[in-house]
A and B are shown apart, each in its own frame.
Chain A
Amino acid sequence: MTETKLQSKIPSGPLSEKWTRHKAEIKVVSPANKRKLDIIVVGTGLGGASAAASLGELGYNVKVFCISDSPRRAHSIAAQGGINAAKNYQNDNDSVYRLFYDTIKGGDFRAREANVYRLAEVSNAIIDKCVALGVPFAREYGGLLANRSFGGAQVSRTFYARGQTGQQLLLGAYSALNRQIAAGTVKSYNRREMLDLVIIDGKARGIIVRNLETGEIERYGAHAVVLATGGYGNTYFLSTNAMNSNASAIMQCYHKGAFFANPCFVQIHPTCIPVHGKQQSKLTLMSESLRNDGKIWVPKKLEDVEKLRKKQIKPSQIPEEDRDYYLERRYPAFGNLVPRDVASRAAKERCDAGYGVNETGLAVFLDFAEPIKRLGKKVIADRYGNLFQMYEKITDVNPYEEPMQIYPAIHYTMGGLWVDYNLMTTIPGLYAIGEANFSDHGGNRLGASALMQGLADGYYILPVTIGDYLSHEIQTPKIDVNHPAFKESEDRVRERVKKIFKIQGKQPVDVLHKKLGNIMWEYCGMARNEQGLKKAIGLIDELKKEFWTDVLVPGVNEDFNQELEKALRLADYLEVGRLIALDALTRNESCGGHFREEMQTEEGEAKRDDENYMYVSAWEYRENKEPELHKEPLNYETIKVSTRNYKT
């Protein structure tokens, strides 16, 4: 196993000075030269929109691509709870160091120290920027910004805009993007899906996209390509991701030589609306912020569980002493605000023990009776009104009167393309930002940190670091899309599309995708073991064959063809799914979102193995061979690695 290909390029010096020093040392591009340089940004979520806007503002020529009809639809919009920053506005002893430490500890010490510190460092500027852009954050009566608490933190540092923080931050970034589009520095291409990365002389030089309205295959060239295409959670079919969120762009780059890091680190969010039946297409998240006031419990007595399932009693009728507030019981220090991975596993443990409160036995209660009594209905409605409304619309249960039912679901993927400190992948000129990269969250992401990372990468980090690379490209003329490399890529894309249409089997894409989802959830879900993972790999291989011989895609390429879109994406999910299982198999420790049943304490807590697994796994694609595992060791220079403890 080699490590030579993984140059993390972490600057030297004390942790708190690394970013400042790095910024001072790297090169910048003059305004006159910026105008000559083209950059492609794929994706318009928080990362993509903020990056494209910032790069446009700096004077680069930016082309930004999104699969929806408008950049504003990107799935960052669905983030509910908030965004972290170390402002210490509450004077509760918060600091950049504390935010950094909470984040790296929340990630179970599987992230890079320098990256996480930088994230905490720029977090404050993000809040300033968003306010300046007109994001209507919640405020106190005195007119200053309000904060709330989130899982994994003992301070109040989360800024929010009701339960629609992601929406408001995205609208802010989207408005900055619109300003650049109006100014002519950014050109926006909507309803375009990236289908391949074009590499010329070892450097990323362009992309091939499919126009989703007309089916045309188009070529675009640039001096650098930035991927901001989000995570791969939809591999599991049922997830809180949007239906169109997909892993195809990162997989195309993986196949072209970008390493895929930590694929097995997948976040399972504890508070989602439980699955209702076989016809379900996706799961809905209930914001983690609900755990600020909501109390999680299951009945203590199995006979109460029986009665609940038969609908003989209502949950509110179960007396206080017969309720098991299991998070408060197991983790007194953090209580209902333990990190997501811990809360999810605890819910699974109770449900596995037979205490699940709905017909399927896969749900626990999230109860607001006590806070409503203490604070009044109005205060609760003010904080969570839209979430309560959303819950009622979906389940037909009024959460002001009866507790919500929740169960963990796939929500976020910490893994992604491997990037160095400059956010560049192993392919020169190809950058990955936001959820598409692996860099900041380690084994588990804390709540309200995804928004922070997306905007940090897009507003403050990438626009600086990309200059270092582009400063060497000022002599490179405009990229010619008639170069043979473009033709070769386009031909390959056309070939793949043709191949899919040729199959004309019996199973629609969704049917096959559900099968993959079942395999993933069963064997690569909240608890994993060697036997199961091996089985999963075998099953995925079989399913892959099934896909390539029996998928049924109607219509033609030259049309608005949503089934073709889905089929192309599923082909990639099959590859990611296998990679997740493979990575999970080789990581024989329990860490963050990755729980290996073989590695647990007697109390059922995760057992991490720092001696053997304190590394980032980075997978290199090899044609017709198993991918090769590269390891980037994690060196902690400043902090002392400890066992996560949320009990005391």
Chain B
Amino acid sequence: MTSLLFSSIGKKLIISLSGLFLLIFLALHLLLNLTALIGPDHYENVCSFMDTNPLVKVMVPVLALGFIIHILFASYFEFKNWAARPRAMSYAVPTTTKGVSWASKNMFVLGVIVIGFLLMHFCHFWAKMQLQGFLGREEANAYELVVNLFSKWYYCVIYIVWICAIYFHVLHGFWSAFQSIGLSNANWLPRLQLFAKIYAAVIFIGYVSIPVCFLLGWHK
């Protein structure tokens, strides 16, 4: 098993599986967020459901573990790759190869950006909501938090930048995960890449629609 985990392909397997897991989380989270557009009551209902549902309680640490594994393995992976092509060995003329997507070359940087904003997100929401509940204190009103934050244009900009980083990360990560697990071939690769585009677009439009709606006052 260790020989699998520490092989180059094994590391990718872990990154891919945890990545796919996080993709599912991303979609679920979006669904919950979108209820905010329907109205405060729905949103509050969903929030309290999430607070009380035992399955969610179980899944929170699993989710955290998913993040940690994804981040740790990706960092280790990137570190090994730097060693294979040290900075001293970079080309004088930057590579001009066609057909290489920008996202694919910058997954690590994108990941770091995502984590950075994620921490901020934690401070703004998670720390004031779930964490408080966990500590037995009274939680902040979720809907109010949302209205508050998204009424500030600069916060919306930051949020949209974050979602952009997620968009690019998913755009490559989605099909790349299937490729790394071996679930791809000449026929399926273009299809997977198309699905990746659709999925990333749905995630992007979905998440971005919330601050945009709040900013423009289109929510109920």
A–B direct contact (CB < 8 Å): no
Spell out A's residues near B (CB within 8 Å). none
